[in-house]
């Protein structure tokens, strides 16, 4: 090696060393004390391989008066990675450098809002995995530029575009605020560690704007963010969060042009399902956990719940059935009796849109007494959200298999199948349906007739009996008003059979979604 080479390589090594030092030992120690990894440790632990891009991009660290203190690596680390055995664009903010602020000081952003990492995911059609830890923009940015700037000069277009092209996954550890929080929710799946925080603006901002003293946990702790629906899942720690990201990705194709990856077919579709008869109460007043009915039907151990802590009257998650990745929705009678409120509708819409985008067939286990009623429901705009939920199913371009488990009353039922598609509704003998349940419906529909009768109670009883006879689900089955009635123990085999056949449709429907309408009401 000649001296010139030696000099060039020495400079290279010293620059690489500096890049690896992040924002300095003091800030790295602070992360470790709080039980968090640095961005480089995250990438090291989560990815099986990592080809870094923009390693030597630099940030001029200045004090509040603009005097240069030194140079630090740019506040984002990213590149091409292997994650769960798959090529992904992967990266995240470096919180040790100006709290992960956007790199508006570079010629080209590395990531966080557009930037190279998003172009990589878009151009190569590979998933985007983001580790979010940053507080968004700050006033220091105008010092760097020499002038203030309109935030609208930065485009979010690529971030939105990716949602229709490749799986986008986000993990929050530490604080995700402002622009970083905004970027976080532009994902198909997000997970935060239980001691992280997420908000539009942090406690100092809230104190100034509203005069309210709140801790950051009260304002945007995991309890708040996973119950509002801003973040999908909760993780014990970062290692748990990495695992959840990998699990989520295992059901997903690399992009919307590819088939979702079929898993192993080791769980026989005709295995006994007798436990369903013990789990499902025949008494309609007794609730059960939706998960307890989902789990026996799908491949053993394959159900991955998404959004457990919000919109709880509908349970959603990914699973496999005969190895086929599917989106599962189920009414959850443990919460509001399974009635669809605004939150449940919102959760369902996002889930259905995602499954349709990535061509995952849907399986819906229905036990819904209707849209939620009452003053809270009305204040939360349940009718509009409910109608949007119906639209999500009308627009979904994937096969939908609906299982009528117990109740199916009112408009909410329209949000559980695809009447314009095959509309395959498979009923169990416990199923019941109609516009309204007979007991309340008789008083609502015939109250004048009942009041005017000689013996109102006897008249009511007679009307109820007549309506109950008419409501017998077997009458609907005989009229082919429902496509099948089966022994619940046959569910797994029958659903698997139809899902297998439906893959012919899925394969020929690959590519971006062709939505009929541009807006939701």
Binding site for another protein (CB under 8 A): 285-287, 312, 333-339, 369, 372, 376
- 286 by Cβ neighbours in 10 Å (0-12 / 13-18 / 19+) ranks as exposed
The least CB distance from residue 291 to another protein, in Å, is 14
Q: Would you say 37 or 409 has its CB closer to another protein? A: 409
Whole-number CA gyration radius for the chain: 27
The least CB distance from residue 315 to another protein, in Å, is 14
The least CB distance from residue 340 to another protein, in Å, is 11
CA 67, 73, 77, 80 dihedral sign is positive
The least CB distance from residue 337 to another protein, in Å, is 3
The dihedral over CA atoms of 144, 160, 45, 323, expressed in degrees to the nearest 10, equals 180
Query: 245: which residues sit within 8 A by CB, 6+ positions away?
Result: 46, 83, 84, 129, 169, 171, 189, 191
The least CB distance from residue 222 to another protein, in Å, is 15
Q: Would you say 253 or 333 has its CB closer to another protein? A: 333
The least CB distance from residue 469 to another protein, in Å, is 21
User: Which pair of structure tokens corresponds to residue 305?
Assistant: 């719940």
Q: Would you say 23 or 338 has its CB closer to another protein? A: 338
Q: Would you say 283 or 518 has its CB closer to another protein? A: 283
Q: Would you say 114 or 338 has its CB closer to another protein? A: 338
The dihedral over CA atoms of 105, 107, 110, 115, expressed in degrees to the nearest 10, equals 120
Q: Would you say 203 or 369 has its CB closer to another protein? A: 369
- 266 by Cβ neighbours in 10 Å (0-12 / 13-18 / 19+) ranks as exposed
Give bridge partners of residue 91 from the DSSP assignment. Answer: 78, 130
Count of Cβ atoms closer than 10 Å to residue 404 Cβ: 28
The least CB distance from residue 287 to another protein, in Å, is 5
Q: Would you say 312 or 350 has its CB closer to another protein? A: 312
The least CB distance from residue 244 to another protein, in Å, is 23
520: left (phi over 0), alpha (psi -120 to 50) or beta: beta
The least CB distance from residue 372 to another protein, in Å, is 8
User: Which pair of structure tokens corresponds to residue 520?
Assistant: 């939701």
For residue 368, the SS3 value is strand
What is the 3-state secondary structure of 213-246? CCCHHHHHEHHHHHHHCCCCEEECCHHHHHHHHH
Pairing of strands 168-177, 400-409: unpaired
Q: Would you say 175 or 408 has its CB closer to another protein? A: 408
* Gap between the Cα atoms of 433 and 142, Å rounded: 62
The least CB distance from residue 331 to another protein, in Å, is 11
Q: Would you say 377 or 496 has its CB closer to another protein? A: 377
Q: Would you say 236 or 376 has its CB closer to another protein? A: 376
Cβ distance 361 to 499 under 8 Å? yes
């Amino acid at each position: 090696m000649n001296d010139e080479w030696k000099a060039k390589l020495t400079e290279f090594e010293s620059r690489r060393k500096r890049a690896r030092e992040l924002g300095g030992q003091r800030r790295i120690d602070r992360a470790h004390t709080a039980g968090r990894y640095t961005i480089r440790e995250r990438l090291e632990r989560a990815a099986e391989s990592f080809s870094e891009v923009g390693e030597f991009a630099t940030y001029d660290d200045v004090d509040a008066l603009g005097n240069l203190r030194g140079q630090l690596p740019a506040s984002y680390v990213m590149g091409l990675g292997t994650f769960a055995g798959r090529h992904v664009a992967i990266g995240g903010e470096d919180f040790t450098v100006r709290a992960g602020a956007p790199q508006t000081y570079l010629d080209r952003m590395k990531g966080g809002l557009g930037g190279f990492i998003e172009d990589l995911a878009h151009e190569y059609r590979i998933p985007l995995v983001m580790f979010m830890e940053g507080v968004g923009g700050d006033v220091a940015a105008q010092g760097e530029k020499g002038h203030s700037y309109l935030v609208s000069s930065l485009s979010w277009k690529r971030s939105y575009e990716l949602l229709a092209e490749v799986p986008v996954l986000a993990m929050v550890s530490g604080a995700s605020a402002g622009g970083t929080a905004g970027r976080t929710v532009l994902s198909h799946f997000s997970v935060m560690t239980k001691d992280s925080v997420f908000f539009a603006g942090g406690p100092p901002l809230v104190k100034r704007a509203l005069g309210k003293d709140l801790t950051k946990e009260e304002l945007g702790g995991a309890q708040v963010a996973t119950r509002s629906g801003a973040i999908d899942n909760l993780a014990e720690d970062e290692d748990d969060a990495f695992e959840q990201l990998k699990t989520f990705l295992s059901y997903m194709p690399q992009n919307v042009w590819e088939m979702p990856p079929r898993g192993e077919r080791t769980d026989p579709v005709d295995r006994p399902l007798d436990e369903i008869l013990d789990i499902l109460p025949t008494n309609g007043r007794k609730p059960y956990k939706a998960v307890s009915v989902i789990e026996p039907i799908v491949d053993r151990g394959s159900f991955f719940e998404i959004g457990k802590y919000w919109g709880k009257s509908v349970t959603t998650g990914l699973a496999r059935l005969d190895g086929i990745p599917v989106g599962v929705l189920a009414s959850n009678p443990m919460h509001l009796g399974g009635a669809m409120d605004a939150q449940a509708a919102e959760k369902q819409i996002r889930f259905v849109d995602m499954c349709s985008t990535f061509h995952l067939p849907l399986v819906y286990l229905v036990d819904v007494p209707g849209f939620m009623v009452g003053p809270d429901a009305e204040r939360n705009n349940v009718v509009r959200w409910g109608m949007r939920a119906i639209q999500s199913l009308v627009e979904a371009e994937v096969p939908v298999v609906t299982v009528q488990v117990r109740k199916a009353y009112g408009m909410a039922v329209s949000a559980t199948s695809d009447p314009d598609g095959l509309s395959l509704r498979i009923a169990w003998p416990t199923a019941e349906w109609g516009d309204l349940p007979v007991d309340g419906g008789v008083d609502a529909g015939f109250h004048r007739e009942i009041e005017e009768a000689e013996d109102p109670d006897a008249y009511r009883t007679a009307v109820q009996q007549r309506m109950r006879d008419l409501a017998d689900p077997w009458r609907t089955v005989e009229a082919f008003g429902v496509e099948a009635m089966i022994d619940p123990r046959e569910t797994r085999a029958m659903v698997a059979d139809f899902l297998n056949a439906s893959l012919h449709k899925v394969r020929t429907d690959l590519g971006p979604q062709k939505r009929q309408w541009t807006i939701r009401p």
